[in-house]
Amino acid sequence: MSNRKSVYKTALVGVFAALVFVSNMISVPIPVAIGDVSRIHLGNIFCLLSGFVAGPVFGGLAAGVGSALYDLTNPAYIASAPFTFAFKFLLAAVCGWVAYAKGQEGANHKLNILAAAAGSLTYMILYLTKAFVSGLLIGSEMGAVLTAVATKAATSGINAVIAVVVSVPLCAVVRAALKKSHLLDKLQRS
């Protein structure tokens, strides 16, 4: 990768990490059965968008860094920051891998819907598995663990639907703006 392209990609990661961080603050907390919390938030929209625009690796970094920084600034989520980094990285990376399949570079609308859904499903599986295992490890009753996971599944599902519905058309708008400003060419050139 050329130095110029590296600068553009690094700046893109920083901008998207900031967007992910700030969009995570726009949320509605939902209490969970075993003293935990879940949230309906806008962060996943920008995690997916980072995968669409920056690709799997750089988009994944932006999503992971922005989400983990949010966790580190919120006492309820500090302990989850490493998991959040990995899970949100994979949310954006899977989205980017699918969107960039067949050399489309995020330009195919139907493929983007599939990409956003695949990234969201990957995140949900990881997040809910962690919630289940964590609940069992702290010694909660199975009923409480399943209730907590069900609550988190509902909020995570709402987040996923919102993220897919908003990120796909937003991707088209952002890509058009980047193309018009010739930044898209600079990001893709070696």
Closest CA to 54 of 92, 19, 23, 84: 92
pLDDT band at 35 (very low <50, low <70, confident <90, very high): low
Closest CA to 4 of 186, 181, 178, 185: 186
pLDDT digits (tens, 9 = 90+) for 104-163: 665 688 999 999 999 999 999 999 999 999 999 999 999 999 999 999 999 999 999 999
**What are the sequence ranges of the domains in the chain?**
3-188
CA Rg value for the chain: 17
Among 1-15, 142-156, 176-190, name the one with the lowest average pLDDT.
176-190
Instruction: Give CATH for domain 3-188.
Output: 1.10.1760.20
- CA pair distance 73, 76, nearest whole angstrom: 9
- Please say whether the beta carbons of 160 and 120 come within 8 A: yes
- The 8-class DSSP code of residue 42 comes to S
- CA pair distance 52, 95, nearest whole angstrom: 7
- Please say whether the beta carbons of 53 and 97 come within 8 A: no
- Please say whether the beta carbons of 95 and 51 come within 8 A: yes
How far apart are the two ends of the chain, measured CA to CA in Å?
Answer: 6
